[in-house]
A and B are shown apart, each in its own frame.
Chain A
Amino acid sequence: MSIFDIFTNQLLNGIVLGSFYALVALGYTMVFGVVKLLNFAHGELYMVGGFAGFLVLSFLAPYVGPGWFGVAVSMVLAMIAVGFLGVVIERVAYAPMLSAPRLSILITALAVSLVLQNGMLTLTKGQYVPFGASLGFGGVRIDNFFISYNQMVLVGVAAVLMLALELFVSRTQYGRAMRAISVDKDMARLMGINVNAVIAITFFLGSALAAAAGTMAGAYYGSLWYFMGFLIGLKAFTAAVIGGIGSIPGAMLGGLILGLLESFGTQLPGVGSEWKDVFSFSVLILVLVFKPTGLLGKPEQERM
């Protein structure tokens, strides 16, 4: 393998990884935009999304098959189910807390995340669960560069979802309401915007995107684990911060950058794959220290 081959392969790895990070980061950033809340449970929604997709697939596999169509159907159903779960979480746990001190909201969010994580631990007894999709191993080979159909579809679906979200936020009335709330919630309410409904939609969309990423990760990597949301939650948060929290294009860009940083960073001498996570968390800390507004974020003049 020449240097060029290593480069192109790592580029592909980085883009695949970055697609997952970006999809999950979008949820963080959207929720943060409208309610100024760091939804710690967001990584767990990715995990629950994976399991929801698995559940749907195992029920529907006899009718739709475990192939592409089956995974697509399970992904959509998982997105809807987890979207509603996100709304329920917001109604039950966050809505009563929004006027409470920030520490209380943070701890509540952590508690929600622990309930989901340990609930799944209890259900799965801590075992890895095979996802059960069979998508084949085909792909396109150009010299030493190999890109599988799975990777193409995954990146393509992620791109379509992100484009759809961007259009929703920039072109529709609800998107405009969402942006208005992120600027000034109280004023938006005075202007006749149904703030609670918009917050619910935001949670629905953010959670649904996380579920899409979770199902795709299950199909792509082949197995699920109750703890799989922890690390990606942390990474996606890093991606959201790199791009500038609250900014939707920022989350996509941040996800891609983090994915590429990780896949190339682990190629550096002295940084093996066992240091991958340390590498990304160090990036997070450095970004927060030197550029807390991220690449595309607006400078924030808000009380701490």
Chain B
Amino acid sequence: MADFPERPSAWGGLAVLLDTPQKRYAAIAVILVAMAVAPYVFGSYGTVILTNALLYVLLALGLNIVVGYAGLLDLGFAAFFAVGAYTVGITTLHFGLNFWLALPLAILLAIIAGIVIGAPTLRLRSDYLAIVTLGFGEIVRITARNLRETGGASGLIGIDSPWLFGWHIRTPLDFYYVFCVLAILGVIASVRLANSRLGRAWLYVRHDEDAAEAMGINRVKVKLAAYVVGAIYGSIGGAFFAANLGAISPESFSFRQSVLILMAVILGGMGKIPGVILGAFIVILAPELLRDFGDLRLLIFAVGLLLIMLFRPSGIWPARSKSR
């Protein structure tokens, strides 16, 4: 390669480490085997924690598309998570809908919510978007707490677990594997998107909006696409979250939830898939390892976030590709 700087890879430093197809296949095989046997190594409690971490991987991948790819700050991501969870909860409980019919409905509603909130605000300054999404997140949470259909402050209980071709997805182990599949699909979709025409448009808009616009990229449309794709990830995560726990309450979708997901994206290294996965695991596993710290956990994360922004804006995961 000549002096042309390489396009920053969504894989971060991994692209350097795994430079031949053989090494890549070997790495993928190792990861898949590790995922398959993990529940037997870590026991039933460990499986529940890992399932939660995988849920966060999915949510963080979704938010990463908004924040990391398109460079928009979304402080109300939990709203889409709530839309997915409540759609599944309400339609399966009140209308007896099958989970697999409720899921596309949840996705559709998340897309609509994403367009309704995103379309008008994405034209504005990017800091306005941050505040509007924060307000939107609160609107969704308060609405869920005040309506009768959503079960008020106590939420919904007794949401059925889904069947898939005669397999009743019911035990924590079942759900662990379901979330494994979701996380893998989430990674694949993120990679495909990053390497697509749309992904390049996001990169361009993130680096220089005016230049991107001058090159014929419709700034608002491209940002809206990122916002909506993020919403879809969040909604799918929420739908399976509701099916897994069988119970949801408004406080699962608070500002704190949005912040935790955002921390997962930024701590690991926004825009880079291994970094985001690492971040999701840090956010979920750290409190398990530092159990005694209790309330200190969020303070430690917050200080970590500040230090990362000041001293290592690209996150914990190494960012540099070979040619830089």
Q: Do A and B come from one complex?
A: yes
Q: Tell whether A284 is near chain B: CB-to-CB under 8 Å.
A: yes
Chain A proximity of B93: nearest CB distance (Å): 23
Binds A, one of B9-17, B51-59, B132-140, B184-192: B132-140
Q: Mark contacts of A199-210 with chain B using CB atoms, 8 A cut-off: 1 yes-contact digit, 0 otherwise.
A: 000000000000
Contact A278 B295 (CB under 8 A): no
- Give residues 125-143 of B contacting A (CB, 8 Å): 125-128, 130-132, 134-136, 138-139, 142-143
- Give residues 230-259 of A contacting B (CB, 8 Å): 230, 234, 237-238, 241
Contact B128 A288 (CB under 8 A): yes
Find chain A residues with CB under 8 A from B286 CB. none
Interface size for A (C-beta < 8 A) is 46
**Cross-interface CB contact of B132 among A118, A125, A278, A284, cutoff 8 Å:** A284
Q: Tell whether A292 is near chain B: CB-to-CB under 8 Å.
A: yes
**Cross-interface CB contact of A38 among B131, B135, B209, cutoff 8 Å:** B131
Chain B proximity of A260: nearest CB distance (Å): 19
On chain B, which size bracket covers the interface?
A: 35 or more
Contact B299 A118 (CB under 8 A): yes
Q: Mark contacts of A123-137 with chain B using CB atoms, 8 A cut-off: 1 yes-contact digit, 0 otherwise.
A: 001100000000000
Find chain A residues with CB under 8 A from B67 CB. 103
Q: Mark contacts of A72-111 with chain B using CB atoms, 8 A cut-off: 1 yes-contact digit, 0 otherwise.
A: 0000000000000000000001001100111110111011
- A281→B219 CA distance, assembly (Å): 26
Is the contact region of chain A dominated by helix, strand, or loop, or is it mixed?
A: helix
Contact A110 B75 (CB under 8 A): yes
Contact A234 B309 (CB under 8 A): no
Q: Mark contacts of B107-151 with chain A using CB atoms, 8 A cut-off: 1 yes-contact digit, 0 otherwise.
A: 000000000010011001111101110111011001101100000
Q: Mark contacts of B250-290 with chain A using CB atoms, 8 A cut-off: 1 yes-contact digit, 0 otherwise.
A: 00000100010010001000000000000000000000000
Among residues of B, the one whose C-beta sits closest to the C-beta of A283 is: B135
**Cross-interface CB contact of B299 among A93, A115, A302, A303, cutoff 8 Å:** A115
**Cross-interface CB contact of A93 among B146, B209, B306, cutoff 8 Å:** B306
Q: Tell whether A112 is near chain B: CB-to-CB under 8 Å.
A: yes
Q: Tell whether A114 is near chain B: CB-to-CB under 8 Å.
A: yes
- A145→B176 CA distance, assembly (Å): 62
Chain B proximity of A24: nearest CB distance (Å): 14
- A300→B128 CA distance, assembly (Å): 13
Chain A proximity of B84: nearest CB distance (Å): 20
Among residues of B, the one whose C-beta sits closest to the C-beta of A226 is: B295
Q: A103-B71, A118-B298 are in contact. Are A285 and B127 (CB under 8 A)?
A: no
Q: Tell whether A5 is near chain B: CB-to-CB under 8 Å.
A: no
Contact B299 A111 (CB under 8 A): no
Find chain B residues with CB under 8 A from A106 CB. 73, 126-127, 130
Q: Tell whether B310 is near chain A: CB-to-CB under 8 Å.
A: yes
Chain A proximity of B148: nearest CB distance (Å): 12
Q: Mark contacts of B190-232 with chain A using CB atoms, 8 A cut-off: 1 yes-contact digit, 0 otherwise.
A: 0000000000000000100110000000010000000000000
**Cross-interface CB contact of A96 among B124, B299, B310, cutoff 8 Å:** B310
Find chain B residues with CB under 8 A from A241 CB. 128
Q: Tell whether B36 is near chain A: CB-to-CB under 8 Å.
A: no
Q: Tell whether A143 is near chain B: CB-to-CB under 8 Å.
A: no
Q: Tell whether B303 is near chain A: CB-to-CB under 8 Å.
A: yes
Q: Mark contacts of A268-304 with chain B using CB atoms, 8 A cut-off: 1 yes-contact digit, 0 otherwise.
A: 0000001101100110110011001000000010111
Contact A102 B298 (CB under 8 A): no
Find chain B residues with CB under 8 A from A118 CB. 295, 298-299, 302
Contact B139 A281 (CB under 8 A): yes
Chain A proximity of B25: nearest CB distance (Å): 35
Q: Tell whether A121 is near chain B: CB-to-CB under 8 Å.
A: yes
7 chain-A/chain-B pairs, Cβ below 8 angstroms: A38-B131, A107-B305, A114-B305, A119-B302, A237-B131, A288-B120, A304-B124
Leading 3 A-B pairs by shortest Cβ distance: A281-B135, A114-B302, A111-B306
- Interface of A toward B, CB cutoff 8 Å: 37-38, 40, 93, 96-97, 100-104, 106-108, 110-112, 114-115, 117-119, 121-122, 125-126, 230, 234, 237-238, 241, 274-275, 277-278, 281-282, 284-285, 288-289, 292, 300, 302-304
- Interface of B toward A, CB cutoff 8 Å: 67, 71-73, 75, 117, 120-121, 124-128, 130-132, 134-136, 138-139, 142-143, 145-146, 206, 209-210, 219, 255, 259, 262, 266, 295-296, 298-299, 301-303, 305-306, 309-310, 313
